[in-house]
Amino acid sequence: MALTKITSNVLADEFTTVAAMSTDDVDFTSAQVFTKTLSADTTLTFSNVSTGMVKDLIITGTGTLTLPASVKVISGTYDGTVSNLIQIVATNGATEQWASISQEAV
């Protein structure tokens, strides 16, 4: 039996696409990377979260960014003057996610 190799070509959009967020909801099944520029205090919500999902938020801009209470920040701080990579790992569905925040090394 021939070995079937899975390529990125067969992956769904939720693993391969970048979405510019027009709302404040992060739909974990809609894209892999989400981008947003803050211009005011912003509260994000998460939807369709399942254990094991990993999503990347690229966020910049000023204002207080509030993540759901289920998010625990492992490391890093937000700097609105540059792009921030906020990587979210869902460790217990919608109940618990862990976040690490980082910026480009200068």
Partner 1 sequence: MIAIQHEGAIKKFTALPKVWADENGTHLNITDGASFGFYPVVTPTYNSSTQSLGDIMWDADASVFTYPVIDKVWTQTLEEMKAAKVAVLKSLYHAEYEKTDWYYIRLTATGEEVPQSVIDARANFKADCDAREAEINALTTQAEVAEYQLPSFM
Tokens of 12: 């769904």
Cα gap 13→27, rounded to integer Å: 12
Tokens of 77: 């701080």
Do strands 25-27 and 45-47 pair parallel, antiparallel, or not at all (unpaired)? parallel
- Per the DSSP assignment, residues forming a β-bridge with 88 are 55, 99
Please list every residue from 33 through 92 that binds partner 1, using CB under 8 A.
Answer: 41, 43, 62-69, 71-73, 77-80
- Name, in order, each residue with C-beta under 8 angstroms of 53's C-beta and a sequence gap of 6 or more: 28, 88, 89, 90
Select 69 or 105, whichever has its Cβ closest to partner 1.
69
- CB of 27: closest distance to partner 1 in angstroms? 18
- CB of 12: closest distance to partner 1 in angstroms? 28
Q: Does 94 bind partner 1 (CB under 8 A)?
A: no
- CB of 50: closest distance to partner 1 in angstroms? 20
Binding site for partner 1 (CB under 8 A): 41, 43, 62-69, 71-73, 77-80, 99, 101
